[in-house]
Amino acid sequence: MEIAALGEFGLISRLTKDIELKNPETKRGAGDDCAVLAFDAGRQVLVTTDLLLEGVHFDLQYVPLKHLGYKSAMVNLSDIYAMNGRPRQMTVSLGLSNRFTVEDIEAFYEGLRLACEAHGCDIVGGDTSASLTGMTISITCIGDARPEDIVYRDGAKATDLICVSGDLGAAYMGLQLLEREKTVYNQQLREAQQRGEKPEDLPAFEPDFTGHEYLLERQLKPEARKDIIEALAKEGVRPTAMMDISDGLSSELFHICTQSHTGCRVYEERIPLDYQTASLAEELNMNVTTCALNGGEDYELLFTVPLTMHDRVAAIPGVKVIGHITKPELGLQLVCRDGVEMALKAQGWNPLKHEK
């Protein structure tokens, strides 16, 4: 069905008619001029927003719309958890070109709703508009936390431990895998056109993802680390600084150290890596440590805790201590496996950098 057949309000109604509101703070959701929210006076409101552009942040040649909806929500949910908060509400605005059908957007919303339901977040509104440049996604997520629980980026102190959840570099390697198979597919299309064949007459393309399923999942279906936030609270650990790893470990370390006015030492041998990440990096002749430091889109949590919290943090599954905070004059250093120290560089994803 063409979107124009429903119109803006008809599309919004179709996408939101079955949404059930879960949070008591949500007094009115989609369907009016504004959503209505009422928060406890003893809690503070957290607000984050992300803009995702087709051709810059995602490629619909290999990203299914259901997965895109899921990932779009997780990007924002992860920011709320990075402040040690809880997500409550979300608004979703879409710019759509005329190549998208109603069914396409329903698939996107199916993924979006799956993510929100898993994290107890209400979809309370948004907007849609025509677009001349493909698909544009703008999502705002609202959360809350007690003032004493909120964790900023500027609280790290010398001797604090540096911790990360999960493993790093897998999402980036998943992207390399998808881009590799896209290149193979496009090459087959060009060769077919040179032979005078039509694309629809070619046999179905079967990408080779064997043995790399975990990498694909990390790229297409990332998970915001609600479980780590809950585990930290259970162990009575409040990080001194925290953020999620969206642009790469090295870039996020620079953010924390710059805003906390500190340096750091990170040990290469302690950076957590999955076997599939290391295997594909070797296959593609890439340095796996560089991938882990600069790849981005892991949406794991990077946080610092006082040295006295070591045993409590060590008791949390999926958390690893990878280094410590130092005085600012010592700089940001990577201690390599052979003991040699190298200055860290913030070479992660930069959305405003123009490719040459």
Backbone angles phi, psi at 183, to 5 degrees: -60, -45
The CATH class of 3-145 is alpha beta
Residuewise pLDDT in 10s, the chain (356 residues)? 776 676 666 776 777 777 677 888 878 766 665 667 788 888 889 999 899 999 999 999 999 999 999 999 999 999 999 999 999 999 999 999 989 999 999 999 999 999 999 999 999 988 888 898 899 999 999 999 999 999 999 999 999 999 999 999 999 999 999 999 999 888 888 888 788 877 777 777 788 888 999 999 999 999 999 999 999 999 999 999 999 999 999 999 999 999 999 999 999 999 999 999 999 999 999 999 999 999 999 999 999 999 999 999 999 999 999 999 999 999 999 999 999 999 998 765 455 454 43
Tell me if 89 sits within 8 A of 47, measured CB to CB.
no
Cβ within 8 Å of residue 24, ≥6 positions away? none
The pLDDT of residue 167:
98
**What is the fold, at CATH topology level, of the domain defined by 161-174+215-343?**
Phosphoribosyl-aminoimidazole Synthetase; Chain A, domain 2 (3.90.650)
Q: Please report, for the chain, the start and end positions of each structural domain, with discontinuous segments joined by +.
A: 3-145, 161-174+215-343
The pLDDT of residue 33:
58
Q: What is the pTM of this model?
A: 0.89
Which of 21, 25, 309, 15 lies closest to 163, judged by CA? 309
